[in-house]
Structure 1
Amino acid sequence: MNYNLITILGPTAVGKTKLAAQLAHHFNGEIISADSRQVYKHLDIGTGKDLTDYVVEGKKINYYLIDVIELPAEFNLFDFYKYFFTCYHQIKANNKTPFLVGGTGLYLSSVIQNYDLKEVEKEKELIEELQSKSYNELKNILLEVNPKPHNITDFESKERIIQAIIVAKAQKPVENKVEIYSLNIGINPGRDVVKKRIKERLEKRLNEGMIQEVEFLLNKNISPERLIRLGLEYKFITEYLTGKISLVQMHNDLYRAICAFAKRQMTWFRKMEREGVKIFWLNEADFDKAKEIIKNNYVFV
């Protein structure tokens, strides 16, 4: 197959970004982030931007879709999809190899599996209207516009249902879309190792000022409700800072939630495989093994 994209995917805390940057440095590439929260400015520690990972042997690797939008604005699947193709064509124009890196399963699937996404007229107004409705009301709306939803995960939360409704109602196609053939490399050290790394990373981020980061956002008049909708770190730390839960409960609940998130990520990737997506799995973020996979499969033009 003539691939035109290299994707590095896997659950949280496995070293995707660092490996992708090393590979991009070696193969003259640039990186598009597929992370639903790193698109927001000021969400640094909690989302693990780790921008130093993009510096390899003193050279900064160009990256896209990080720090592109200010809260409290929303960023959704279709926004990512549009941005992706703009970035993709820019990388090609730079005569570089495009890399897609991240763990947001829906974003990755939309590109790798060539979703036929279209734009909705007056999308902002529609989102505001949908956000005012209950979970059951949203579920009924989705089943009306799409009686046979493709993904059961569309019903996981109000945000996911809203996103699915937006997709179902869309009509205007993306103008610069091209067919993507992605060479996919996954990193999965195993659940026990991932849980251990999540715990270590959580301690590190708390020590680096993750609570203070959320305090800063609250002081910028970002509402607690908006931060809670971001999930994980921002949800539980906001609940702690607003007095809903104790520090100990915040720590314990957040650790469990991140572990559950990592499990859901792997479930998503396995679903992609069942749907025909080929993923070359590595037990670790091994540069040499990943380099060989790319050399043996990707034709550079």
Structure 2
Amino acid sequence: MEKSLVVILGPTSSGKTSLAISLCKKYNGEIISADSRQIYKYMDIGTGKVPVGKDVSIDKMPGTWKVDGVYTHGYDWTVPGANFTVVEYARKAKEEIESCWRRGKIPFLVGGTGFYIDVVLGKVKTAGVAPDLKLRGELEKLSCENLFEKLKILDPIKSQTIDNKNKVRLIRSLEIATKIGFPNTTAILRSEYSRGNGNSTDNNIKEGFSYDNSLVIGLKASNELLYNKVDAWAEAITRSGALEKEVRALLGRGYRESPQMKGLIYDTMVKYIDGETPYESMLERIKFDLHGYIRRQLTWFKRDQNINWFDISSSELDNEASKLIGEFLGHIG
């Protein structure tokens, strides 16, 4: 099938990347990461770019890694603290998708950031609200906790899915809700598609894709299984010392005040390094925050009725997903 796009999404620790690598090898594909944290250089362990405890070959190139023999785009596109918007992400992701098509490759859009995926697919448009530097300056003085409380009042729906430790996103959501006078979730409107048309209503983003040429696969499991898997991962990256080493290196590079260091996992490790949090408390906090992140991811994905869901506890997961993709791409067998 010409210009086909395969999407693999799911919550943290559901095995998206490992499944995608296996399928890319079978169907001559390349991965485009759809993770809002993996775009940042020097942040590899806490974002899951580098597997801990697994013998996987990794070759790093600017903006692209070769992981276990499969090209993966969308890593290291910018540095911590840089203003890199979802529109910029979507443009670069689409460039990589189109590059795959030109080279006869099948692009696999893979990740857990539902908003990024939806923007690339043309299912949502971003609000054209210009930055308000004065308002941002006022909001910057507030803690993440205070910002989150404000957001719950102004946009209760958005507050259910946002990372409540990500100050940049909290401020941007408050900025939009304050400036246009209604919630950010109202400003993010579903694009209207004609069958086979696929033109996005957002003027800032090139035309999106329609479900006529996109197959969306979702990975699911019970919350208990997802929590157990993410807990094991948190144990691995902390007890190995890999996460602490990475965060110390980021601090050494001068990124302490970058918004990404205030977000999931990294903020808690900084507090441990600074002596504010004991080791076991740090580890339990990381697990607690990851559980909340998984719930927010699932809340976002539940909006979409076009996802083909597969249970990761099934021993036939790889075969079933491969069969569906083969049928979608027009392969026999």
Q: Please give the TM-score of this superposition, normalised by the length of structure 2.
A: 0.73
- How do 1:80-159 residues align onto structure 2 when only pairs under 5 Å count? 80-112=89-121, 114-117=123-126, 129=137, 131-132=139-140, 134=142, 135=147, 139=151, 151=158, 153=160, 157=164, 158-159=167-168
The aligned amino acid for 2:23 is L
Distance 2:210 2:149 in 1: 36
Unaligned residue ranges in structure 2 (runs of 5+): 60-66, 177-183, 189-200
Distance 2:237 2:327 in 1: 38
Distance 2:231 2:148 in 1: 35
RMSD: 3.5
Percent pairwise identity: 27
The aligned amino acid for 2:291 is C
Distance 2:220 2:169 in 1: 25
The aligned amino acid for 1:132 is E
* Pair 1:13–1:70, CA change in 2 (3 A): same
The aligned amino acid for 2:308 is I
* Pair 1:5–1:162, CA change in 2 (3 A): farther
Q: Match for residue 310 of structure 2?
A: 281
Q: Match for residue 16 of structure 1?
A: 16
Unaligned residue ranges in structure 1 (runs of 5+): none
Distance 2:73 2:126 in 1: 21
Distance 2:111 2:230 in 1: 16
Report SS of the residue matched to 2:302.
helix
Higher helix share: 1
- How do 1:139-288 residues align onto structure 2 when only pairs under 5 Å count? 139=151, 151=158, 153=160, 157=164, 158-164=167-173, 165=175, 173-174=203-204, 176-181=206-211, 182-206=214-238, 207-224=240-257, 226-231=259-264, 233-273=265-305, 277-284=306-313, 286-288=317-319
Deviations 1:226-274 (A, max 9, x none): 344332x20110111123222121111111111221122122211223x
Deviations 1:16-73 (A, max 9, x none): 1011011111111111101111111111111110373779xx9621211111111221
- Residue 7 (structure 1) aligned with residue 2 (structure 2): no
Higher relative contact order (CA 8 A, sep 6+): 1
User: Does the aligned pair in 2 maintain the 1:227–1:238 contact within 8 Å?
Assistant: no
Distance 1:229 1:127 in 2: 20
Distance 1:221 1:13 in 2: 30
Q: Please give the TM-score of this superposition, normalised by the length of structure 1.
A: 0.80
* Pair 1:59–1:267, CA change in 2 (3 A): closer
Deviations 1:97-120 (A, max 9, x none): 111101112212223452233666
Q: CA shift at 1:12, angstroms?
A: 0.9
Alignment: residue pair count: 287
Deviations 1:191-232 (A, max 9, x none): 12112111211121121511111011111111246344332x
